Amino acid sequence: MKRNYPTNSLNPILEKDLIKQIVFHEAGHAAAIHLYNKQKQLPPVYFEIIIKETKHELNNSVANDAYKREYFVAMVEGGRLIHSLPIALIEGVLNNQDALRIAYEADMINLLVGPLAEAKYVALRDGESFNKNLINLNSLHNYGGSSDLEKVYEYLESMVADRDLQSEILEDLFTQAYQFIESPHNWRAIERLAFFIQANIANTISCEDAIAVLDKVNLIYY
């Protein structure tokens, strides 16, 4: 769950919008890792959120000079159930195939929620409609979802070989990810975590701090 975003210092308004999109994307991943897994009674898994600005020295093709280009590096590190399972499950013990499938599917949903959260934020920001008829898997590439989709397809290949079955599974997982962010409670949690991340950019958000923010929504609304 790591991507680099070039920023444009010549247009601070666009840069500010992009950073907000990044924040909602990563908040979506983190919210799903904690809340979706918890709602499905899956074991907790450690993660942390890192969003920081870096500078890369590039060659200017016009003047043949080196100059600095700013990037935001956004990453949710950890958070994968499939990486937290006991060795016996990873090795494919027959009686535990359901556990492996559930872990794979939960991780794929958590990957899909990130770009979906970014897409929903952009739609709300721009005063546009957001519904499942207006967004599909391919459109997630427009919301920083390329690396997320790459990992999802990698997981699918590990689960099943049949391409038609892969498509069916993926469509179902996409629907579940969409339903997750359409839950008012889950969306409030994503919003609260996004605001918290934005207030702490350049700091690593620990798993404990992120969970405290997400669980606080339960105390406020329930």
More confident residue, 164 or 1: 164
Distances (CA, A) of 170 to 3, 68, 93: 22, 40, 24
7 contacts 40 by C-beta, under 8 angstroms: no
More confident residue, 110 or 6: 110
The C-alpha atoms of residue 79 and residue 58 are separated, in whole angstroms, by 33
pLDDT, position 10: 42
Question: What is the pTM assigned to this prediction?
Answer: 0.84
Q: What is the pLDDT of residues 175-220, one digit of tens each?
A: 999 999 999 999 999 999 999 999 988 789 999 999 999 998 765 5
Residue 66 CB-density burial (10 A; 0-12 exposed, 13-18 middle, 19+ buried): exposed
Which residues have CB under 8 Å from 164's CB, separation 6+?
none
pLDDT, position 203: 81
Return the amino acid letter for 76: V
For residue 36, give the DSSP letter.
I
Domain boundaries, position 8:
2-221
Angle at 88 between CA 85 and CA 47, to 5 degrees: 10
Domain tally for the chain? 1
Give the chain's mean pLDDT.
82
The C-alpha atoms of residue 217 and residue 222 are separated, in whole angstroms, by 8
Residue 182 CB-density burial (10 A; 0-12 exposed, 13-18 middle, 19+ buried): middle
- Is the model's pLDDT at 77 over the cut of 70? yes
